[in-house]
Structure 1
Amino acid sequence: MRAYTRDLERLILWSVVVRKKALSSLTVEDCEAYKDSLNAPLASFTGPKRPRTSGRWRPFAPEGLSADSQAYAVRVLRAAFAWLVEVRYLAGNPWSAVHEPATVTRELSVQVHRALPASLWTRVREALDVRCDGISGDNVESDDESRQWRAARAATILMGDSGLRRAEAALARREDLRLAEVAGDGRASRSPSPRSPSPPTSSRSVESAGSVESGRGPSSVWTLTVIGKRRKQRTVPVSGATVAALRAHWQDRAHDFDAPHANGPLIAPLWIPATRTARERHDAQTDEGPYSVDAFGRLVRMAVQRLARKSAALADFSTDDVVQLANTSAHAFRHTFGTRAVARDMPTDVEQAILGHASLQTTSIYVRAERRRVLEAAARYYDEDAE
């Protein structure tokens, strides 16, 4: 939906400013001209990336769009105009006569290399716990800083332990997090009242919270229902450590995570930026508003980058580890879940269901990447042995 909005905004701006026409008056020739402009946008339409609310915002980057992005834009506009015809806003769809730019069909790829190795993922979680306890090297974090670290920890572990996409994690809600009872035949049933006593919310207890949560016995597991790509609903498992981190974050927000009928965003800003857009968005909420998708991504990315720059807990990390953390995005933690799931022998079809992949072929990329890592490690071992 965000991509559709972006491409329609670009076309409307171009139509009004360049062609001086309403969207409903565009012809096939106009659409062809716009398609050509995607490769080399007018100078007045380009500029460095700026916030959408900035007066210096421009719809295109200076280099224009890649061939793949141009073809995608044409497909989006063709579909959008088809809908406008269907609802009788337009009499015809000029984009149906416009061909997509020629592109090369590339081999399916997922940036698995961005996943954190298991040891690095463990130490990142330990470093987050240290920061959440208010410790920063020889300094002590302020209460506000510690609360922000706890929000970042909850967001990071939620993605890394459940394989959620950034938007799915940002929009996840408490009422969709339930306790599922696993029957003797291995099937799970959702508990209608998924509340349990709150364990200690000390940051130090989060890493061991899996054992605390499992105190209910091996027949129960926390599950979260989300709406993913293509508006498909799916349910993913949530680790005990994630639930403990969420409890601590909810306590910072002065909410009871385990209260009957608790609801609202799982992760929400502790304070609202003093910008007009942020104020308007949160004032419009009937309850506490969630992070926007981009802000959620920044929360995770900036926390990991700060760890890479300053954390004393990372002093024993290699240079390669620090470089990887400095370039880690929120989406990398989804890949981290995918690679760890394969390493722990999770069935590929189960992993596919959790990650929400439309095709098993996509999920299999993690399997191939794990096999390649094993072979590379074995090759290094035998090379060293030969020496």
Structure 2
Amino acid sequence: MAERRSSSSKAAPLNAGEAVDIPRAFTSKDFTALRAYVQRIQPAIIARTYYDPDEDPHAATPGAMERYLTGMLDTLVQLALAHGSTALAEHLRASIKQHGQPKLTAVTFRMVTEAAQLAAAAPHPDHAIGAWLRPRLARRLKGEGIVTLGELVAFCNRRGPSWWRSIPRIGRGRARAIVSWLRKQQAKLRLTVEIDIDSDERDGVPLVADEVVEVVPESYIEGGASWEKKRLTLAPLERLAVPSALSGAAGENRSTAFCYIQANHDHDAVRAYLNRFRDQPKTLRAYTKELERFLLWAVVLRGKALSDLRVDDCEAYKDFLKSPDPRFVGERFARHSPRWRPFALSHSTAPAEGHASQSATLSPESQRYTVRVLRTAFTWWVDVRYLAGNPWRAVNDPMVVKRERPMKIERALPAGLWRKLRDELDVRSADQGGATAGAQWHMDTNRRQNGVQWRAVRAAILLMGDSGLRREEAARARREDLRPSSFGTPERPVWELTIVGKGQRERTVPVSAATLAALRVHWRDRAQDFDGAAEEDKQSGPLLSPVVIPWTDASRRRHRAGQSAESGKGQPAKEAGYTADGLNRLISRMVTELVETMDGLSLDERVRLGQSNAHAFRHTFGTQSVADDVPVDVVQKVLGHASLQTTTLYVRAEQKRIFEEVAQYYTGFGGKAPK
């Protein structure tokens, strides 16, 4: 085996049991570097491979590197003499007596390092990652804002099994090596790496949990180490099971009269209530979220069944809503993921990377909404004789300050910026060229896909900005509900779109010629005939649908493709449109790219455009139509406002803009009153 002699001064032999007072400041990276040194790797290569000269002064020059390593080797030998086995100590003393210094092979070096673990510094959450990881790896992590070991653990726990995907040049292999080392250091770091962090993935989809998960009260959970937080098992309503004692089968508040619903326990009662909204997907989603939060809180933190709760329990939950338990809060994950949490962090409440604790604060309006939803649900359970009484009737609604302007219409784009945006969308939606053979093919494919995305975004933005649609309405809009209006003329054709909006109210809105042109191009990208004959059923389908489908299980399930028996070509069996959230994400992503790359924008315009979202284009229609003297009652009908008072907010917004512009004009004359 290769061997290496120390070039430092001779070390005096130590007697067994003699005390050794050595600073213990070596890390695992130092041991790896020293192993390379023993195997005759040049100090310059070691410094470049394992250290960062900016953070490790001893790696600044080859000479300094060698002095550091030889000093470390002498330190380890002395510790091995004092704390190692008798056989190892005798071998080292013989080597020192014969050669004046220890002569190590790979085997004896391993024995020395194992005996000298007392010299290794214990990792701490505040330690820089550069002290424990190689420089290249540390630099890539720092690029994501990860500076310390504590921040690295928090980043992994927040992002889940796919935490490494957002970091350039860190693959699954390196990620597992990092997580494996972090797990070994959990006790020293006093931090826990979640159990599913290094689990296998299938086609980029994180490992999912079992079909049904039983949640238990916090008091049932056995405490681990003093530094380890109690981990709560939480699951969404469709995968939720509770201990029989907390099921509500024998709840104190159960009615003794004949029950109108077939419900043996609380979970059945919750499902029966939610079933009333099966035809209202948005309401169903909102109510499911509120009821599963309350059910999980009752079982896990309160240790009671839903049908055992009293007024004081409801008051406690109202207080809980002000500051939810951090263990109930997390990043947004799919409902089938074991990392799902009842409360999702929004961008405004998400803590900086590296903070182990997470919290979410519900607005007073959201707290009041939750209380009213629960009160209504309990009222229904009393009406159907599942519960004997409604404890929420004795609970007051949270105090809410009535806002003067309930809608954030200030996000609407000014007329000049709205025109610039439309022009830029036209430019970016232009055809990106045809297919090309050879190495250029991949580049052209990416350009074509980029053009397809821009054309989809243009159609969506114009549909909301010219017709005042909400994002949910734009996502649900269908071709069969779009038709030429009988009120149009050959000189000025008008099309109309019938949609079902908020509160299940149907309304018909005009559609501009620019929007129609954008929709036709978007349908051509989807290989669909926008103007096909009605009797051929070619005019049906969502107005907006993704052309580039993400390669995930969820996306493939939504956009499953069938095989056409006639043509033999793959045709969508049942084309699915965008979801409201998917459409919002697409628009947000493309608008962000515009803010960063669009020419001809002032700093103020970039800020305004960066603050806009999908709903801002609906507000843009409201403010611009009012500014162009469209009657307020007409704007109300197009926007689908139940109250004219809501629409008049756009009038006040336009008046505010007028006064601001004139005030700016006044400042050009010094803003002084005449003498």
Mark yes or no: TM-score above 0.5: yes
Shift of 1:88: 4.9
Shift of 1:340: 0.6
Counterpart CA distance in 1 for 2:574 and 2:384 is 33
After TM superposition, the structure 1 = structure 2 runs for residues 1-387 of structure 1, keeping only pairs within 5 Å, are 1=283, 2-60=285-343, 61=345, 62-134=359-431, 142-182=447-487, 216-218=490-492, 220-259=493-532, 260=534, 261=537, 262-283=539-560, 287-310=574-597, 314-385=598-669
SS in 2 for 1:164: coil
The code of the aligned residue for 2:523 comes to: W
Shift of 1:246: 0.7
SS in 2 for 1:263: coil
TM-score, normalised with respect to structure 1? 0.83
Shift of 1:101: 1.5
Q: Deviations over 1:289-345 (max 9, x none)?
A: 1111111111111111111112xxx32210111122222211110111011101110
Shift of 1:45: 0.7
Contact 1:305/1:327 (CA < 8 Å) preserved in 2? no
The code of the aligned residue for 2:584 comes to: G
Quickly say closer, same or farther: Cα 1:243–1:80, change in 2 above 3 A. farther
The code of the aligned residue for 1:252 comes to: D
- 1:186 match: none
Shift of 1:272: 2.9
Counterpart CA distance in 2 for 1:52 and 1:332 is 29
Bigger mean CA offset, 376-385 vs 52-61: 52-61
Counterpart CA distance in 1 for 2:334 and 2:596 is 26
Quickly say closer, same or farther: Cα 1:256–1:24, change in 2 above 3 A. farther
Quickly say closer, same or farther: Cα 1:152–1:365, change in 2 above 3 A. same
Counterpart CA distance in 2 for 1:84 and 1:230 is 23
The code of the aligned residue for 2:551 comes to: A
- 1:208 match: none
Counterpart CA distance in 2 for 1:19 and 1:163 is 45
The code of the aligned residue for 1:278 comes to: S
Q: Which consecutive residues of structure 1, in runs of 5 or more, have no partner in the other structure?
A: 184-213
Counterpart CA distance in 2 for 1:135 and 1:270 is 16
SS in 2 for 1:178: strand
The code of the aligned residue for 1:276 comes to: D
Quickly say closer, same or farther: Cα 1:123–1:51, change in 2 above 3 A. farther
4+ residue runs over 6 A deviation: none
Counterpart CA distance in 2 for 1:89 and 1:242 is 52
TM-score, normalised with respect to structure 2? 0.49
Counterpart CA distance in 2 for 1:40 and 1:95 is 20
Contact 2:432/2:448 (CA < 8 Å) preserved in 1? no
SS in 2 for 1:182: coil
The code of the aligned residue for 1:263 comes to: S
Quickly say closer, same or farther: Cα 1:98–1:277, change in 2 above 3 A. farther
The code of the aligned residue for 1:237 comes to: P
Quickly say closer, same or farther: Cα 1:246–1:91, change in 2 above 3 A. farther
Q: Report how many aligned residue pairs link the two structures.
A: 350
Contact 1:109/1:365 (CA < 8 Å) preserved in 2? no
Counterpart CA distance in 1 for 2:601 and 2:626 is 25
The code of the aligned residue for 1:5 comes to: T
Counterpart CA distance in 2 for 1:46 and 1:82 is 28
SS in 2 for 1:247: helix
Larger Rg belongs to: 2
The code of the aligned residue for 2:596 comes to: R
The code of the aligned residue for 1:39 comes to: K
Q: Deviations over 1:331-380 (max 9, x none)?
A: 11011101110111010011011111121111111101111211222222
Quickly say closer, same or farther: Cα 1:174–1:115, change in 2 above 3 A. same
Counterpart CA distance in 2 for 1:176 and 1:92 is 46
Shift of 1:24: 4.3
Q: Deviations over 1:185-209 (max 9, x none)?
A: xxxxxxxxxxxxxxxxxxxxxxxxx
Counterpart CA distance in 2 for 1:154 and 1:116 is 17
Contact 1:116/1:332 (CA < 8 Å) preserved in 2? yes
The code of the aligned residue for 1:293 comes to: A
Contact 1:147/1:252 (CA < 8 Å) preserved in 2? yes
SS in 2 for 1:181: coil
Q: Which consecutive residues of structure 2, in runs of 5 or more, have no partner in the other structure?
A: 1-282, 346-358, 434-442, 562-571
Shift of 1:142: 1.4
SS in 2 for 1:234: strand
The code of the aligned residue for 2:378 comes to: F
Bigger mean CA offset, 22-31 vs 367-376: 22-31
Counterpart CA distance in 2 for 1:83 and 1:179 is 45
Shift of 1:93: 3.0
Quickly say closer, same or farther: Cα 1:68–1:143, change in 2 above 3 A. same
Q: Over aligned residue pairs, what C-alpha RMSD do you find?
A: 2.5
Contact 2:472/2:580 (CA < 8 Å) preserved in 1? yes
Counterpart CA distance in 2 for 1:114 and 1:343 is 16
Relative CO higher for 1 or 2, CA cutoff 8 Å, sep ≥ 6? 1
- 1:199 match: none
Counterpart CA distance in 2 for 1:269 and 1:28 is 49
Quickly say closer, same or farther: Cα 1:33–1:170, change in 2 above 3 A. same
Shift of 1:274: 2.7
Q: What percentage of aligned pairs have identical amino acids? A: 53
Bigger mean CA offset, 70-79 vs 26-35: 26-35
Q: Deviations over 1:9-67 (max 9, x none)?
A: 21122233224455444443332222221112222112344455543332224133122
